[in-house]
Structure 1
Amino acid sequence: MILGMRFIVYGAGGIGSIIGGHLFRIGGEVVLVGSERHVDAVKKFGLRLLTPDITYTLKIPACKTADELAPFRGDDVVILTAKSQHTAVCLGQLKNAGAPRNLPLFCAQNSIVNEPAATRAFDNVYGAVLNMPAIFLTPGEVIHPITGNGGLIEVGRYPASADELSQRVASALLEAGFACKVNTHVMRAKAAKTLLNLNNALEAITDAKGDAAAYNLATRTEAENVWKRAGIEWEDFHEFEKRSKAIRGKNKMPAGYEGETKRSSTWQSMTRGTGNVEAEAINGDIVKLGRALGIPTPYNETLCRIAEDMARKGEKPGRYTIEQLTEMARRNQ
């Protein structure tokens, strides 16, 4: 049993509900903060957490607002799992609900923009890089389609160190079934993961149809050129992929869900019609840095612009082909 910490999983969708659910099922004190529909379903029926081996129905505490968390406690630990486009809103909600500056906050999100943003509101900020599958298409239900372990998680104190709390959180996540450890250079690993996440918008726009290799390489090359000029450090993309695959479990759908498709969080957001996606915080961050440094980033700019536009209009994945996107990017060079 995990003692001495209350885990507040803020922005609990797919990843957050999986992390919170596994911590809760082994005896951790956990509260999910999520969307109205998701929280209503969890409160009424419990959180359905489906894995290849067991389907859990967890009567896990859940709430819709930060105000419901008050008063904050000295043993609170926030695991921020909201999409990166919602980070500013989440930070403001926590502070306006009375969260103190010393509240520990772990950014378990895609992109490398969240940790520096979090330091504006909180002093104890930690990075967390994740490599695990999660499917969240139905309120109250999340699918965790992996066996062997729950996936790779590495945590570290921002910007580049470790402390007792990072080790305690890593130990709790390890006990909950994840392949978790402390990484004092977690932001380098998150940058490598970001290079992989640059592909999320392309998958959503095209519905994963066509040969994406050349376009994906172009987006990564743009990011690496921008980061090198800006002095941003990252772990080698291929080395990160190699060690992640060696550590994490193997993807496997639960029985009865073999027909479900494991797609990126951007594809899932577009499929659910949320009205927004992460492209601005992932591809868009490369575009903004590129503009500041005078480096063209047409492949990332095209993905960001098209994905955000499709999300705003409520369009489903598959509107454009890779060939069409490539032509748009070339025209923007």
Structure 2
Amino acid sequence: MRYLIIGAGAVGGAIGGRLAQAGHDVVLVARGKQYEALRDHGLRLVTPDGPHIHRLPVVAGPEELGELSPDDVLVLAVKTQDSVAALEAWAGRPVAGGGTAAERLPLVCAQNGVESERLALRLFRRVYGMCVWLPATFVEPGVVSAAGTPLTGILHIGRYPGGTDETAHRISGDLEKSFFEAPVVSDVMRWKYAKLLGNLANAIEAVSGVIAGEEGLALHGRARAEGEAVLGAAGIAFASKEEEKESRGDKIRFEPFDGSERSGGSSWQSLSRGTGTIESDYLNGEMGLLGRLHGVPTPVNDALQSVADRFARERRPAGSMTIADLVAEADTAKR
């Protein structure tokens, strides 16, 4: 199987680099300065077991690959706000022996949130969800840090909207030879909704820094309580905290191996890089959407989404709003 990593940033770079390290065939797909750095210098993946340089094929888009192989696996690792463009770019690519990527190839959504699988299923016939527990950071173009140990990450995988198949087990087998644990589950979205509840903190971290004090924890608790109420009203199941804890155990820990403090997650990184976009519309915004559909108020998540979007739009520095000011915004949000 050849893995085409669509979005070779923090998550995509870590997955692609570890797969390549284990001897699997990997192609990285990137844009702009990341594409140039990967093309010219390779991927530098910094991990607790040392830095690894992977000089892998890198393309800016599907047109550079020509005809795809029936054994290709598409791994979608872009932010959800970039999913539609990526899906449309790859769906119509021809596959050797006939048909298109959308008709024949498996597509794995290795992303936060729960919307990309639904977007993908409009075009692709074989869609897989992946719940990503993977502490990784885009350090600079061409450089990704993955600080998880003893495993690099835990990646639950299953068919979307449900079930398992031989392909899911083959992908899992490759990942489990590549510093990951990859449980194959028939209810992958239940795991992804559970992670979504945790990711409601991403906006807090992005605008006010890594959550450490009681105010930040309390604010996330309020956002999560809204989320649980919304999922309950919508009849959407999610894995419990106890299940998540049992699944992870002490298999993956963050250990700063270079003396640095922990940096922020994916939303914090988006603000730090000044991309102009952030995935809060598909995290806190998912709860707002479901809340409006099912008559459940979500003022805290609405406020967090609004502030995070404003930070991205105005390219304001990550962590530059005090937690007290962010709490005040949530407290004054319209009920």
TM-score category of the 2 structures, normalised to the smaller one: over 0.9
Contact 1:201 1:266 in 2 (8 A): yes
Letter in 2 for 1:216: H
CA RMSD in angstroms, aligned pairs only:
1.5
Deviation at 1:177, TM superposition (A): 1.1
**Aligned residue among 94, 110, 113 for 2:112:** 110
Equivalent runs, 1:1-333 vs 2, <5 Å? 5-98=1-94, 99-208=101-210, 210-211=213-214, 212-236=216-240, 238-246=241-249, 248-254=251-257, 257-331=258-332, 332-333=334-335
Aligned structure 1 segments of 4 or more residues deviating by more than 3 angstroms: none
Contact 1:133 1:262 in 2 (8 A): no
Aligned to 1:274, the other structure's residue is in SS state coil
Q: Deviations over 1:256-282 (max 9, x none)?
A: x32253321100111111111110111
Gap regions ≥5 residues in structure 1: none
So what's the TM-score if we normalise by structure 2? 0.93
Contact 2:83 2:116 in 1 (8 A): yes
Letter in 2 for 1:136: F
Structure 2: distance between partners of 1:74 and 1:23: 19
Deviation at 1:81, TM superposition (A): 0.7
Contact 1:276 1:308 in 2 (8 A): yes
Letter in 2 for 1:34: A
Contact 1:132 1:150 in 2 (8 A): yes
Contact 1:31 1:62 in 2 (8 A): yes
Deviation at 1:116, TM superposition (A): 1.3
Q: Deviations over 1:141-165 (max 9, x none)?
A: 0011122111111111112211000
Contact 1:131 1:244 in 2 (8 A): no
Across the two proteins, how many residue pairs are aligned to each other? 326
So what's the TM-score if we normalise by structure 1? 0.94
Aligned to 1:79, the other structure's residue is in SS state strand
Contact 1:127 1:187 in 2 (8 A): yes
Contact 2:80 2:279 in 1 (8 A): yes
- Aligned identity (percent) is 37
Letter in 2 for 1:74: P
Deviation at 1:253, TM superposition (A): 2.5
Contact 2:70 2:104 in 1 (8 A): no
Gap regions ≥5 residues in structure 2: 95-100
Structure 2: distance between partners of 1:315 and 1:132: 26
Deviation at 1:96, TM superposition (A): 4.4
